[in-house]
Amino acid sequence: MKKFTQILALLCVAALALMCFAGCNQSGSDVEYVQGKGKLIVGITDFAPMDYKDAEGNWIGFDADLAKAFAESLGVEAEFVEITWAQKANELKTKNIDVVWNGMTLTDDVKALMDCSNAYCKNAQVVVMKKDAADKYTTAESMKDLRFAVEQGSAGAEMAEANEFEVTAVDKQAKALMEVASGTCDAAIIDLLMAGAMIGEGTSYEDLVFSIELNSEEYGVGFRQGSDLVEKLNAFFVEAYEDGTIEDLAKTYGIANNIIEQK
């Protein structure tokens, strides 16, 4: 009996030690965590011109290329994982990803759920519809009877709710455009930067246009609450702005007028 009690006590001590180690690991440095595993896992969606695949299947875009450069500054590689946008905060919390970097609008809800970088890019939520209908709908009030496609959990979804629009929720902004093109929805609310890259002459959606802007907003990058990666990224932004990296990438992806000075 005495021997059994001693073994039980040793098991309890070991369990407590494991719990303490796990607790320390969870509350430790994200920078050290990322460097320890040798990769920065970046949560994204398919969203040109920020994150999308080239002909070889590699992730490229303004955000993707900037994330690769940031990862390199940490001495690691960037690994991109497509996520369900509405679950982005949970993906961070459970450490399935280390960062949300995908043209993320800095809303109050976002800032309550994660720690965010300084704003680095300007954007707006715009209404997209077929070209032959745009002249009929020039204000949000005139669109009250339309059905809108929006990405679930997005800033576009928030704008639809604020304007009391009837919506069809989809899991990607790209699918919102498909809903309009197919005629299953009258309009979509998507990011201005995406509209500039995805619709109009020379694109797959030549018959779609954006009619009005519903707001103005700024993009930021999201991390786990308390993450020391935030300070690292803000410092990287300043360096990348001063050495021309951000400007060069913005020109490459056609968003030079949207970048925000970093200082």
- What structural domains and CATH numbers belong to the chain? 29-121+219-258 (3.40.190.10), 125-215 (3.40.190.10)
pLDDT at 123 over 60: yes
- Predicted confidence (pLDDT) per residue in 192-204, tens digit: 999 999 999 899 9
Burial state string for 186-215 with b = 16 or more CB within 10 A and e = fewer than 16: bbbbbbbbbbbbbbbeeeebeebbbbbebb
pLDDT at 21: 39
- Predicted confidence (pLDDT) per residue in 190-236, tens digit: 999 999 999 998 999 999 999 899 999 999 999 999 999 999 999 99
| pLDDT average, residue stretch 51-66 | 97
Q: How far apart, in whole angstroms, are the C-alpha atoms of residue 44 and residue 150?
A: 17
28 confidence band (pLDDT: 50, 70, 90): confident
pLDDT at 3 over 60: no
pLDDT at 18: 43
Q: How far apart, in whole angstroms, are the C-alpha atoms of residue 6 and residue 239?
A: 58
94 confidence band (pLDDT: 50, 70, 90): very high
Backbone φ and ψ of 105, nearest 5°: -70, 135
